Amino acid sequence: MQASLTVRCALLASVLLAAGCSNYWGRRHVDQPTPINPNDPVWIWTRGGVHKWRAVVITHDSVSGIPFETSRKCTVCRRSIPRVQVDSMVHVYHTLAESVTKVVGAAAVIILAEGVWCYLLDRNNPQC
């Protein structure tokens, strides 16, 4: 019984450690025409402030997009800024590590729930 509990705790600890260490959203500076997923947010810094847009299209002379808070389907909401007025842009995208974190986190919850279930309902079972 003690070995099973030790193995379960070690497995849970390693799953939680992997989940905590692999949470990463990739970031890259956008300084040239780049294909961008319409759902990905792009932060655009200008002298007038910071804009967070989606469905961003970058050309050699302008940057256009839809404010992140509005629907992508709102075509009249599209804004444009000349590239000469843009100080910097950052494109945030999802990485494989973020997807792995979700799966590992779900596995940790399942392992923990199974341990609690086993403890509460079948304490005398040597498998628990």
Complete DSSP assignment for 36-71: --TTS-EEEEETTEEEEEEEEEE-SSEEEEEETTS-
- Condensed to tens digits (0 to 9), the pLDDT of residues 64-82 reads 999 999 988 888 999 999 9
pLDDT in tens, 92-106: 766 666 667 777 788
**Domain spans of the chain, in order of start:** 1-24+95-128, 25-94
Residues of the chain with pLDDT under 70: 1-34, 93-99, 126-128
Residue type present at position 39? N
- Considering just the CA atoms, what is the radius of gyration of the chain in Å? 23
pLDDT of residue 34: 64
Q: Are 33 and 57 in contact (CB under 8 A)?
A: no
Considering only the C-alpha atoms of the chain, give the largest distance between any 2 of them, rounded to a whole number of Å: 72
